[in-house]
Amino acid sequence: DTEVTQTPKHLVMGMTNKKSLKCEQHMGHRAMYWYKQKAKKPPELMFVYSYEKLSINESVPSRFSPECPNSSLLNLHLHALQPEDSALYLCASSQILMGYNQPQHFGDGTRLSIL
């Protein structure tokens, strides 16, 4: 069982819908990450939170809005997505030691389909 829990596992939404992806970890990690992954491709970094503050935004469109309510939770709010946003969205967490290079623990992802 993964120590990073993501919900929902699958999500189908229309381009005008608003939905949220959720991620939770209880390992005491103070860095949390959102990645987007297409089939047979590596994860692409979207956002990094450090001590509940956004520290890296990889020029992600504003239709993706991250939120870190506390040290255990990470959300990704979705609005007006495009079909090309269909992908597996992965959450990860890690310790912080001289940056964000520590081994990461990944959740199993949310499979998102945009109609």
Within residues 19-48, the interface with another protein by CB under 8 A covers: 33, 40-43, 45, 48
Q: Is there binding between residue 7 and another protein (CB under 8 A)?
A: no
Within residues 50-89, the interface with another protein by CB under 8 A covers: 56
Distance, CA of 63 to CA of 92 (rounded, Å): 21
Q: Is there binding between residue 11 and another protein (CB under 8 A)?
A: no
**Could you check whether the bond before residue 8 is cis, i.e. omega within 30 degrees of 0?**
yes
Among the listed ranges 11-19, 62-70, 73-81, 92-100, the one in contact with another protein (CB under 8 A) is 92-100
Q: What burial class does residue 65 get, using C-beta atoms within 10 Å of its C-beta: 0-12 exposed, 13-18 middle, 19+ buried?
A: middle
Q: Is there binding between residue 90 and another protein (CB under 8 A)?
A: yes
Other Cβ atoms closer than 10 A to 84: 8
Q: What three-state secondary structure class fits 89?
A: strand
| Interface with another protein (CB under 8 A) | 2, 4, 33, 40-43, 45, 48, 56, 90, 92, 98-109
